Structure 1
């Protein structure tokens, strides 16, 4: 085989593309392509960095649950040290939120996700008195996103994956032609792991888009008084209007849990969204905000049914969709990479994902037949 030809080219070097490249490296010649100077710049590097089996709902939960053991005890090739750290999660509500919390509990009945009713008083210092209801999910963890992404890129490179900056792509006589700053290459299969740009990459490749849309999510780092205790769990409200978690130095990472339709771009926070986040935070706790130290935004990309898209395009069978992970791409990365690598290599699935119904994530569900 020519040194300029690869078995698989992956467009996108965020956590999705990087993890898949690492899993494929022992079995195939892989080209990993990124449009930015820094892989993971737009979404992976702007994550709130937690692993929660309930986050994303029952459709995402099997992927998250299957990823947990791998993230807690990765192979030696990936450093052998857990990417997870105990955090815990608390869903808080007022009396009017009881139906939402009841529905939340019912949606995970029988899944094995440990959810129990609890008293929020004493768990959240300064919680305002109307917040009387709470459900706890003790298994929620922080994720060291930088370490996970870095290890995936390192494993990929050590396994022979070539990383290049993509300039253009087109259909070749056989497979795909990729123009990069390092020259032109060809590949038998093309994987679309382009996140917010997934539909645009499909259009360029001559593939019908599936309707993946990017949405902006705002994050704010606050210095508060009193300082946030580091052992406080991740706090989410029952109506998904905000979440916050403690960070080093008693800081808080806060989000209004917004999903604002946006364009594929380098997203920036809007002042109104920052103000909304702070207002919702102040309605929940009586802490004094001393300073807004940082604010940023990232793009979360969803297919129309809010499930990820994994699988060969039904019409263009050498084009593989690996996109639409929403805000759950990091916590589901190992399971997603196992599903995709088994399909791309025509190999039996890893036992860790044997219980996952991979067909529910296939692009054929959008009627592309």
Structure 2
């Protein structure tokens, strides 16, 4: 039986980042059920670093992650993780009150954002339909994230620090073992003091294996499809564009436009595939907002984004069950928040409280603690 300090179940971005954060001073193992880490959510993300995206807790975690993503430690990554993109939130005339409210909510953590007039939005994205744009908000500091580079860098650096990473290693049993846990897999058993549940859409199932009540995780399918941009238009410098209700978004991707209807269909945890209805919805919403006739599509894909009812992450020890740590419900924000989420989780596991950087952003630990879901 392998004996380690901390065992992480799940090799997505959250598990990989935490393995990196903890393996510097703990013996860590990470178990991933699939053939490679990040198969279901991390590897299918159209990731953007945006300090205006998500709840206040998410935005604080994003802002706190910025320094690491912009300037990673020497040798961590073979190239830049972030690439300038910009993000444009647009609103029709009947959505202007929502846009104003969003601006007020966003500004405390992203003071550099700018309100734009409709003509200014059309200058940035000339194929938007004028009758679909009443005003906008520009976040010029938003960036594309090289997801695979970041994820692989975390895994590589964790291994270099001594972390054990095993793929094709499903967990089939968990039970208390003295002051810790015994975790069974088809290839053998592990003994650990701290068990971290970073199993993504399967986190409730892992919890139930351990005799821990689920948190009510809701896996939701998100669809993306690639379409050819308008002929003759250089889209390389276009911003990420999202409407203020997040009913659709698009961004450049490898010479095409990656378009999503921002669907959130509740599904069982699985290897999800895109549905034709969602692809058609993406096309319809794009063509309603933009002067584009879709003549050629590229590939489409779907991924899982998992939430609990309040749409904040679940990060912390399960109340009254020693050594069981939740790192779940990261929704569509897990990549842009990975450095700060891992730093927070590692600090809580070490019993060191909330890191100073998050405290300075007025981050409220209660908004992500499992305690809030047990009352």
Instruction: String of CA shifts for 1:263-302, please: whole Å, max 9, x gaps.
Output: 1000111100000010000011112323111101111000
Q: Which residue of 1 is the match for residue 165 of structure 2?
A: 163
Aligned to 2:367: 360
204-213 or 224-233, larger mean C-alpha shift: 224-233
Asked whether the 8 Å contact 1:22–1:159 carries over to 2, the reply is yes
1:204 maps onto 2:209 in alignment? yes
CA contact (8 A) 1:74 1:81 kept: no
Per the alignment, in what secondary structure is the counterpart of residue 60 of structure 1?
helix
2:226 aligned partner: 221
What is residue 139 of structure 1 aligned with on the other side?
Answer: 141
Question: What do residues 207-260 of structure 1 show as CA deviations (whole Å, max 9, x unaligned)?
Answer: 0111111011010011232255100100011221100001222x0001001111
Aligned to 1:232: 238
Summarize deviations over 1:173-198 as a string: whole Å, max 9, x none: 32222233543221111100011011
Following superposition, the deviation at residue 343 of structure 1 comes to 1.1
SS at structure 2 position matched to 1:187: strand
What SS is found at the alignment partner of 1:300?
A: strand
Q: TM-score, normalised by structure 2?
A: 0.93
TM-score, with structure 1 as normaliser: 0.95
Please state whether the residue corresponding to 1:31 is helix, strand or coil: strand
Structure 1 unaligned regions, length at least 5? none
Cα deviation 1:128-182 (Å, max 9, x = unaligned): 1212311111111100000000000001111111112134232143222223354
**What is the RMSD computed on CA atoms of the aligned residues?**
1.6
Question: 1:339 is paired with a residue of what secondary structure?
Answer: helix
Q: Report which stretch shifted further, 270-279 or 99-108.
A: 99-108
Q: What residue ranges of structure 2 are gaps of 5+ in the alignment?
A: none
In structure 2, how many angstroms separate the alpha carbons of the residues matched to 1:59 and 1:209? 22
User: Is contact 1:311-1:343 (8 Å) kept?
Assistant: yes
Show the counterpart of 2:129: 128
Is 1:274 paired with 2:275? no
Task: Name the count of aligned residue pairs.
Answer: 365
CA distance in structure 1 between the aligned counterparts of 2:188 and 2:111, rounded to whole angstroms = 48
Map 1:319-358 to 2 at 5 A: 319-347=324-352, 350-355=355-360, 356-358=363-365
CA contact (8 A) 2:77 2:150 kept: no
